[in-house]
Structure 1
Amino acid sequence: MATERVCIIGAGSSGIAAAKTLHQKGIAFDCFEKGSGIGGNWRYLNDNGMSSAYKSLHINSSKRNMEYSDFPMPDDYPDYPRHSQILDYFESYIDHFGLRNKITFRTEVVRVTPLSDGTYSVTIRNDAGERTEHYRAVIVANGHHWCPKYPDFPGQFSGMTMHSHNYKTPDGMSDKNILVVGIGNSACDIACETSRSAKQTFLSTRRSAYILPKYILGRPLDSYLTPFFFAMPLWLRRIYGQFLLFLTWGSQAKYGVPAPKHQFLSEHPTITSDLLNLVGYGRVKIKPNVRELAGDRVRFEDGTEEPIDIIIYGTGYKIVFPFFDQSFIDPQNNELPLYKRVIHPDYPNLYFIGLFQPIGAIMPIAEWQSKWVAGILEGTVTLPSQDEMKRTIKIEQQRVKRQYIDSTRHTMQVDFHPYINEIKRELKRNSKQSSRRFIIPLLGKTSVTERLA
């Protein structure tokens, strides 16, 4: 059975970028959102249960580097807007481009099944019950910051435990001893916020991190992430970045945050302008990795122990696709090999938008990914052979392993400008450059497996 429609899963920042791009190209689609509104992770207390936003959350990329290319954020927004302002921006975006009535809300995608002809059956569930539809392609934009990952520490803890995904405010945490595990962006934000009213906040880290401020020499941090910066060899980027950090606040070890043993730019950056000061004030105390949970106490690898009332795990997320059977797509250890972080070489017409971790903002990159996918769907852009895609994936995996710490946190890293340039090059591919059509063409045209001369 032939169909021309495309299924988009999710109406967060990546899903609405995909919807807008397909809409402008005249490609028929259905966009399903589990919650009652758009915004995904940026909708505080989202009723889809997948938002990790806390009440005090502000963006870590500046507004000019986070906005969509054809819809700037308002001039009166600050450099780093809060989550409610970002959600308002998304609402204005979908209204401006006429997308609201093209999104089906309160509808969960419960199953996606590949069919022998390269199309997909998609089962959805809402108040009207379950039904299954048929689509020529599926775009997955369900996000990857919603399924908490916990460490496996020995022992038992008798106090309150939560993941940063479930943290919303520090209410009820006053005069408590709080341990935040992890030194990523959310963990540091939460440690800083709780420390202002807690009896004591501790921050546990295995290997520390380079702490980057939101401003360097009066400019937003990401204003330095220019094409010229990414054109530098990695060793020079490391020297340049560390020089700027030193100009900003000298040695972080003098504040009480240990200098990491790994090289600069070998991990996803931790951005906070508050942590070093609060460590210097003694409001946040840095501890090494947890050795053991011991009732109402926690023992650390340096032999010290502390009485703890609440543990908050800022230990990242698992990549999960609850609508895929594990025999189809199962990203073990957050590994999902994709060509240019979008295309699975074994499954035609399945696209992933926003499934990456950038040095820079996600939204502009998701917009370029959407343009690429739209070009493939309309037949103006084609893909390399399956073998070439797999070779490219291996090369990229090796590059990431050379630069980054071996961790499930670093399986999807991309650099902002170089990656966008890669997608722009893919957009220039035509049928003469490709040895294989990897799309379902429009009705009555060639088949999915057509080999080109």
Structure 2
Amino acid sequence: MHVVKESVAVIGAGPGGLVTARWLAAHGFEPVLFEATDSLGGQWNAASTASATWSGMRTNTSRIMTAFSDLDHAPDVAVYPRQDQMLSYLEHYARKYDLIRQVRFGTRVLNLDMAGNGGWAIRYKAGGVEGEEIFRRVIVATGAQSAAKVPDVPGIESFAGGLGLVHTSQYDGPERFRGRTVVVAGGSISALEIASDLAFNGARVVSATRRQRYILPKLIAGIPTEHVMFTRAAALAGELLPPEAQAEGLKAAVLRAGGYPQQYGAPAPEANIFAAGITQSQSFLPAVAEGRIAVRPWIDRIDGEHVHFCDGTAEAADAILLATGYRLSLPWLAPRLVKTLALGDDGMDLHAHTFHPALPGLAFVGLYNLIGPYLPVLELQARWVAYMMAGLVPPPTSGEMEEGLRSSREMRARGQQPVLHALAVMLARKAGVEPDLREFPQLERALLFGPLSAVSFRLQGPDCLDDAADRIAEAAAAFGAICGEVHTPEENQLRRLLGLETPVAA
């Protein structure tokens, strides 16, 4: 007998939408993906007008951490994949799970609202024709980097430099800036990477930031930084240690990896690392030390081609690149949903970044600015949503939902972004796939101190993989990070806190 599968709408065919569709299909649903552009890939599709990537761009996270659990990158892909390799990877993933036939390309959502029957009404436009369909369940996976944020700077509209003022979402490489003076405004990863790209390709670069952050390199002694910093051990320590101890340990680790910015000629950050913040770039601080990049405080005002900074200095600039981040934009959400979610530029109120108690049947995947690699967290979030819909794990209680909303509001009030390791472990527990370290003694070090890859959550619970243990060990050893049986004093301290076996003496 032919069984009709329930259709579930997924808005967006980037990484979040694709991995959500994959797991919905695996558990008996028929995903229907609404994609406004003519091809998949989201941000990694440089040809899309919605993409902030450019040809030749490299990821800032390793190939191990920029992959889903069911598909590794091709053997010839470097440690940090190119933009075109990431797009090819996502296309391969979509073909592997027969997702392309389920994508409605060129279909722009115009409105999402509650329907009278308790479902969700999606009004859309495709081929110049409008339509509407009702779904019992909808997952929004359009990404958080959809609308550029422009700062309020006096005189910004008067800038008269010959190469103009644009947001870095429109950056298309360094070629046209050679021999010119460029002000890069912002201190995020993209700001520092673009500033470095320009500086090493013949531009004179001035970096303007609101505050000096601590800066991590992309590689620490040849090991990708997220393999070292964003681990299960860090997540567990964050649950056990008071904030002061966490800050002390984090700052010590950051300084061992990258040193103080002032050692390179940049300003000194605040002593409190949580207040100063952390960013990442392999080449920015060395470029400052070599005089390739000049560092200034934030922009005070703009007058014609002159950019005036808050320290009283000024530069005649040919171009200004605003690396000032993104605001969350969901213009097609019905006004009553916007109000319920308290949707703003900085996000919305959700339990575990996924559900709202007043909006059953509606979920969000990847609608946050994450510190660290996205793909492992996107997959865990997609698995949790699919498992709940399939009845494999229980839904959160009303009390858990309300506590989640309270936590969400507090994070937004502090301007705090989720961090890979903490969010991954939380979502893994909700999906029932967080591995029990005692069940895998041979993998203890890899699971605690190795990369927190997507496959490291395929050992237990639904959808475990036969080869997961081998792939976890291989990923942990790939850069020589987890070798031998002798634990460091820091590892031993954490093992005592976790109540594991007597540590091996270092």
Question: Which of the five TM-score ranges fits, normalised by the shorter chain?
Answer: 0.7 to 0.9
- Could you tell me how far apart the structure 1 residues matched to 2:40 and 2:67 are? 16
Moved more, 116-125 or 311-320: 116-125
Please tell me whether residue 141 in structure 1 is matched to residue 141 in structure 2: yes
Task: Answer yes or no: is the 8 Å Cα contact 1:39–1:90 preserved in 2.
Answer: yes
Distance 1:262 1:144, change over 3 A: farther
Q: Does 1:323 align with 2:332?
A: yes
Tell me if 1:369 matches 2:415.
no
Letter in 2 for 1:94: A
Of stretches 32-41 and 189-198 in structure 1, the one that deviates more from structure 2 is 189-198
**What CA distance in whole angstroms lies between the structure 2 residues aligned with 1:325 and 1:397?**
21
Aligned to 1:222: 226
Three-state SS of the structure 2 residue aligned to 1:65 is: coil
Q: Tell me, yes or no, if structure 1 residue 382 matches structure 2 residue 391.
A: no
Q: Does 1:6 align with 2:18?
A: no
The 1:249/1:144 distance shift into structure 2, 3 A limit, reads: closer
Residue-by-residue CA offset, 1:40-80 (whole Å, 9 max, x unaligned): 0011122xx21100234211221112211121222332221
Which residue among 255, 259, 262 is the counterpart of 1:250?
259
Equivalents in 2 of 1:185, 1:298: separation in Å? 22
Deviation of the 1:251 alpha carbon: 2.6
For residue 112 of structure 1, what is the aligned residue in structure 2?
Answer: 112
Instruction: Measure how far apart 1:10 and its partner are.
Output: 0.5
What residue identity is the alignment partner of 1:382? P
Q: For the residues of structure 2 that align with 1:218 and 1:241, how far apart are their CA atoms?
A: 20
Runs of 4+ in structure 1 over 4 Å off? 265-268
Contact 1:146 1:165 in 2 (8 A): no
Structure 1 residues 197, 71: CA separation in 2 closer, same or farther (over 3 Å shift)? closer
Equivalent-residue separation in structure 2 for 1:231 and 1:321 (angstroms): 34
TM-score, scaled relative to structure 1: 0.86
Distance 1:324 1:24, change over 3 A: same
Are 1:272 and 2:272 an aligned pair? no
Mapped to 2, the partners of 1:400 and 1:36 lie a distance apart of: 34
Alignment of 1:10-409 (within 5 A): 10-46=12-48, 49-127=49-127, 129-155=129-155, 156-159=158-161, 160-224=164-228, 225-232=230-237, 233=241, 234-261=243-270, 263-266=272-275, 269-329=278-338, 331-398=343-410, 406-407=414-415
Moved more, 240-249 or 279-288: 240-249
Flag the 1:428–1:223 CA change in 2: closer, same or farther, 3 A: closer
* 1:83-106 C-alpha deviation (Å, 9 max, x unpaired): 111111111111111211111112
Task: Give the superposition deviation at 1:383.
Answer: 2.4
- Cα pair distance change 1:28/1:238, threshold 3 Å: same
Distance 2:28 2:192 in 1: 44
Instruction: Give 2:367's aligned amino acid.
Output: L
| C-alpha distance in 1 between matches for 2:217 and 2:356 | 36
Contact 2:387 2:431 in 1 (8 A): yes
Is 1:423 matched with 2:432? no
Q: Secondary structure at the match of 1:22?
A: helix
Deviations 1:353-388 (A, max 9, x none): 012233331111111111111122223433234454
How far off its partner does 1:262 sit? 5.8
Between the two proteins, the alignment pairs up a number of residues equal to 418
Counterpart Cα distance in 1 of 2:267 and 2:378: 35
**Residue identity matched to 2:234:** F
| Partner secondary structure for residue 418 of structure 2 | strand
Shift of 1:420: 2.6
**CA displacement at 1:199 relative to structure 2:** 5.0
SS at match of 1:203: strand
Distance 2:109 2:173 in 1: 30
| 1:229-268: CA deviation from partner (whole Å, max 9, x where unpaired) | 2222344443344334433443320212222216325576
Question: Contact 1:229–1:237 at 8 Å: present in 2 too?
Answer: no
| Alpha-carbon distance in structure 1 between the residues aligned to 2:271 and 2:137 | 42
Distance (Å, rounded) in 2 between the aligned partners of 1:428 and 1:250: 39
Distance 2:30 2:296 in 1: 53
SS at match of 2:206: strand
- In 2, Cα distance between the equivalents of 1:285 and 1:204? 9
Whether the aligned pair in 2 keeps the contact of 1:269 and 1:359 (CA below 8 Å) is no
How far apart in 1 are the matches of 2:299 and 2:103? 45
CA–CA distance in structure 2, aligned partners of residues 4 and 263 of structure 1: 51
Moved more, 244-253 or 180-189: 244-253
CA distance in 2, matches of 1:112, 1:71: 33
- Unmatched 5+ stretches in structure 2: 434-506
CA drift of 1:38 comes to 1.3
**For residues 15 and 29 of structure 2, what CA distance do their matches in structure 1 show?**
19
Output the CA distance in 2 between the equivalents of 1:136 and 1:93: 27
Rounded to whole Å, the distance in 2 between the matches of 1:394 and 1:222 is: 29
CA root-mean-square deviation: 2.3
Indicate the percent of aligned positions where both proteins have the same amino acid.
Answer: 29
Distance 1:268 1:27 in 2: 42
- Report deviation, 1:280: 1.3
Normalized against structure 2, the TM-score is what? Answer: 0.78
CA distance in 2, matches of 1:135, 1:117: 10
For the Cα contact (< 8 Å) 1:268–1:359, is it kept in 2? no
> Is contact 2:307–2:315 with CA below 8 Å preserved after alignment?
yes
State how far apart, in whole Å, the 1-side matches of 2:284 and 2:142 are: 31
Q: 1:450 — aligned with what?
A: none
Q: Structure 2 CA distance, aligned partners of 1:100 and 1:199?
A: 42
Going from structure 1 to structure 2, the CA distance change for 1:244 and 1:379 (only over 3 Å counts) comes to closer
